Amino acid sequence: MSSPAAELALRNGALYLPGTGKTRAGSVAVQNGKIAYCGPDDGITAFLGSATQVLDLRGGMLLPGWHDSHIHSVFGGLFVPGCELAGLASRADYLSALSGYARQHPEKSCLRGQGWIESVFCSLRPHKAQLDAVIPERPVLVSSADGHAAWVNSKALALAGIDRDTPDPPGGIIERDQVSGEPIGLLRELAAIDLVTDRLPRPDQDECAAQGEDFIGRMLGYGITAIHDASAFPDSLEACRRLDLEGKLRLRVDASLQSDPSQNIEQLEEFVDLRRRYSGKNLKAGSVKIFLDGTVEGHTAFLLDPYSDRSGQRGEPLWPRDTFFQTVVGLDAHGFRVHVHAMGDGAVRMALDGFQEARRKNGVRDSRHMISHIELVALEDVPRFLELGVIANFQPSWFYQDDLSDAPLEAFLGPSRLGRRFCMRTLWLSGAMVTSGSDWPVGGDYITCDPLEILQTGVTRQGLSGAGRPYMPQERMALGDMLDSMTVRGAFSAFREDQTGSLRTGSRADLAVLDRDLFAIAPQDIHTARVALTVFDGQVAYRHGI
């Protein structure tokens, strides 16, 4: 009996089968949205028919669509497009760009931007007076590259009613003048930043949906077919649900609901309702995000030992320990996956302790809880990821030497801790489930969601230029391991491994094709490869040069 004809046939490719660490020549046939054949080129002939769309990959690399396991989508305008500062090298450059943006957009009642790095300011801190000098008449809010701080002008502070008598909100810091006590225009952590953002206009649902469609197109152009939205809010989820119902959500979205430490376990009923409402064909909202600490740069990461430049201070967790434990246990009992932001080794240990408490109270289940970022982890805590079944999620685009950032970081952490940041390979070799994400549009010294750039930095531990020595070269990842962290392991972390993440018969045909075989080029050239084709659910969703 002959095989039924496929709708799509991809011939003469270099197939990457996750877990193999190499490519092999072959072809793939797609039928009814699934992989009907994956194997040697000559075997695909049986799947060809008069209506089959046949594409010759000419040796291009065919792999499962990328999974970005930690990204912040633009659904719902959480990150409203504004002035991009990433890549600029001085405070004067920042102010010039913001001033120019203000002149170009006289219609905007408030101005937003993104991407400044604190080390650019050297001994000076971001200050409202700097912004007031160039944009005095409209509120301005500019988010840092890591998303954990905001630089605002006097108009923005006034709009939010922030003055010298305004107390720091729980989990947030309003930086102040040491003499007068007046806010200087620097807000740390979301609790403080939201005092301003809650007063700024947000887009309506039509704008949210339009931004969402633009975002989907961008992801497909990178070969990304699945994401974990690391901080989803009701308006973003509603925009996503709308697109899903209209058949326009050509992206598998696994969303984390945003938690509030002030509400504790009282949020649980709302989370259950949101999970029920926002579960569709390509949308799942079965995770809850907890920010347990901040960043090393802001001295808000929670460390086991004090900061080297601040005697006795090691940061504080954003959640009281008992409250965190109670919340994790409650979420786990109701079948949620808990997604914890933890930079410092103190926060990582506290997160692991919380997951251990959930096991003690609720019993062992396939929870797939996740800790993201893991800038520092104590060696004695490394085996606990495997023991507790906790997923370690890293952002490999941060893994390189940067003179601008390393000097202040060494002052904050000391040379010993500076030399053990982002130990992705250590976690991998321990047997832990390790995944990768971009954290776009927030990030480190350069901001990217391009999987090829992320892949290269994880493999080389160098910047894209290849300049400078590798950062912690012993932590360089093998190419195949990095690929797995961005495909099959990403699918596992989202409970989708039975649908996506692999090239095997019966899987959904979510595929990416590169213009060259990454195993045949130098690691420093990985970022020069290009996506030639993206297939989502069996349909060609992006095509360039093939």
8-64+505-543 belongs to CATH 2.30.40.10: yes
The confidence score (pLDDT) of residue 226 equals 98
pLDDT at 42 over 90: yes
Where exactly does CATH 3.10.310.70 map onto the chain? 81-197
How far, in Å, CA of 542 to CA of 248, rounded?
A: 14
pLDDT at 211 over 90: no
Mean pLDDT for the stretch of residues 363-367:
97
Helix (H/G/I), strand (E/B), else coil: 428? helix
Confidence of residue 456 (pLDDT cuts 50, 70, 90): very high
pLDDT at 5 over 50: yes
Q: What is the pLDDT of residues 98-132, one digit of tens each?
A: 999 999 999 989 999 888 888 888 767 899 999 99
The confidence score (pLDDT) of residue 78 equals 47
Structure tokens at 274: 């949101």
Where exactly does CATH 2.30.40.10 map onto the chain? 8-64+505-543
The confidence score (pLDDT) of residue 145 equals 82
Amino acid at 287: S
- Please name the fold of domain 81-197: Diaminopimelate Epimerase; Chain A, domain 1 (3.10.310)
DSSP one-letter code for 398: G
Q: Please state whether the peptide bond connecting residue 201 to the residue before it is cis, i.e. omega within 30 degrees of 0.
A: no
Helix (H/G/I), strand (E/B), else coil: 27? strand
Q: What are phi and psi of 18, to 5 degrees?
A: -50, 140
Helix (H/G/I), strand (E/B), else coil: 159? helix
The confidence score (pLDDT) of residue 148 equals 85
The confidence score (pLDDT) of residue 75 equals 56
Q: What is the pLDDT of residues 396-435, one digit of tens each?
A: 999 998 766 677 888 999 999 999 999 999 999 999 999 9
Which CATH number describes the domain made up of 203-493?
3.20.20.140
pLDDT at 297 over 90: no
The confidence score (pLDDT) of residue 493 equals 97
The confidence score (pLDDT) of residue 121 equals 83
Place of tokens 């704008």: 207
Is 340 exposed, middle or buried, given 0-12, 13-18 or 19+ CB atoms closer than 10 A?
A: buried
pTM: 0.88
The confidence score (pLDDT) of residue 200 equals 85
- Strands in 391-394's sheet, in edge-to-edge order, are 66-71, 224-232, 252-258, 283-291, 337-342, 370-373, 391-394, 434-436
Arithmetic mean of pLDDT over the chain: 93
Where exactly does CATH 3.20.20.140 map onto the chain? 203-493
Query: Comparing C-alpha atoms, which of 46, 167, 176, 147 is closest to residue 398?
Result: 147
The confidence score (pLDDT) of residue 28 equals 98
What DSSP line would sit under 467-502, residue for residue? -SPPSSGGGPPPHHHHHHHTTHHHHHHTT-TTTSSS
